[in-house]
């Protein structure tokens, strides 16, 4: 059964898309540009905060860094695998299919809006850790918090990029629902170290999504997704 947290998060994203589509029209273009830039900056700092939590160690008055090699190996090897598979293209094809099925064939920005929003709300520690906790412990508090953040983010993104953002609720339902469903099987396998590594790399991918929101040249973040799997794998062989 899909967890309550996943349902709440999915509804929050869909409602954010609806609100953004209904009220986003009152915003001028300069307002939309400013809002999406601010949204991107917010996502960047969320990613930085998440990554630094696992890379910085405070001992008294001394701050040291670590896990640089882990980050480099996961991102380089994971991105190489992702480019070979071309996961970004799979997202885009799914977006094109949704565009036709939802009657938005004339919306030129639909796919870009869908892919950008999907990567923003699907990738990250809150989605994965929250879904696991919901499935194992029945604790949906993390996903409930995430749904509030996603609601606000999707309102802004929909008003700026278009209604394709609202359809990011579908991948969220599939991803978080799938993780929640299989969480009971993951319980004896997932270790604290694996969760830490997963959260670290996930936060860096969130940072990259934020960069895509504020600059014209895009990073193919979807093709970096295998980095998450490598992070978990390294946790078990270390």
List pLDDT tens digits, range 200-219.
Answer: 888 898 888 888 878 877 78
Which residues 6+ apart lie within 8 Å of 78 measured at CB? 201, 224, 225, 226, 227, 228, 229, 230
The encoded tokens of residue 108 equal 């030129």
Query: Model's pTM, two decimal places?
Result: 0.78
Helices (H), 104-140: 110-122, 125-137
Q: Which domain holds residue 92?
A: 4-237
User: Which of 19-33, 124-138, 147-161 is the most confident on average?
Assistant: 147-161
User: What per-residue string of b and e applies to 82-103 under the rule 16 or more CB within 10 Å gives b?
Assistant: beeeebbeebbebbeebbeeee
Measured CA angle at 227 (ends 222, 229), to 5 deg: 110
pLDDT digits (tens, 9 = 90+) for 11-33: 999 999 998 888 777 777 787 77
What average pLDDT score do residues 139-154 get? 85
What spatial distance separates the first Cα and last Cα of the chain, rounded to whole Å?
A: 34
Which range among 94-98, 140-144, 162-166, 188-192 shows the weakest confidence by mean pLDDT? Answer: 188-192
Number of compact structural domains in the chain? 1
Is 157 exposed, middle or buried, given 0-12, 13-18 or 19+ CB atoms closer than 10 A?
Answer: buried
The encoded tokens of residue 153 equal 């983010």
125 pLDDT higher than 70: no
Going 74 to 173 to 207 to 198, the CA torsion angle's sign is: negative
């Amino acid at each position: 059964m899909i967890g309550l947290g996943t349902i709440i998060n999915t509804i929050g994203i869909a409602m954010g898309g609806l609100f953004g589509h209904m009220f986003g029209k009152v915003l001028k273009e300069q307002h939309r540009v400013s809002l999406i830039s601010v949204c991107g900056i917010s996502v960047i700092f969320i990613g930085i905060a998440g990554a630094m939590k696992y890379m910085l160690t405070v001992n008294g008055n001394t701050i040291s860094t670590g896990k640089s090699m882990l980050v480099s190996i996961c991102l380089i090897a994971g991105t190489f695998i992702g480019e070979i598979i071309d996961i970004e293209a799979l997202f885009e094809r799914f977006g094109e299919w949704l565009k036709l099925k939802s009657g938005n064939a004339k919306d030129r920005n639909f796919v870009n809006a869908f892919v950008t929003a999907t990567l923003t709300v699907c990738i990250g520690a809150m989605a994965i850790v929250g879904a696991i906790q919901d499935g194992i412990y029945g604790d949906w508090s993390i996903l409930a918090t995430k749904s509030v953040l996603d609601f606000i983010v999707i309102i802004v993104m929909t008003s700026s990029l278009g209604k394709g953002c609202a359809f990011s609720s579908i991948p969220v339902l599939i991803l978080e629902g799938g993780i929640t469903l299989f969480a009971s099987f993951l319980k004896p396998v997932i270790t604290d170290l694996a969760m830490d590594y997963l959260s670290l790399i996930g936060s860096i991918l969130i940072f990259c999504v934020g960069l895509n929101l504020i600059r014209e040249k895009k990073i193919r973040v979807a093709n970096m997704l295998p980095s998450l799997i490598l992070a978990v794998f390294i946790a078990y062989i270390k």
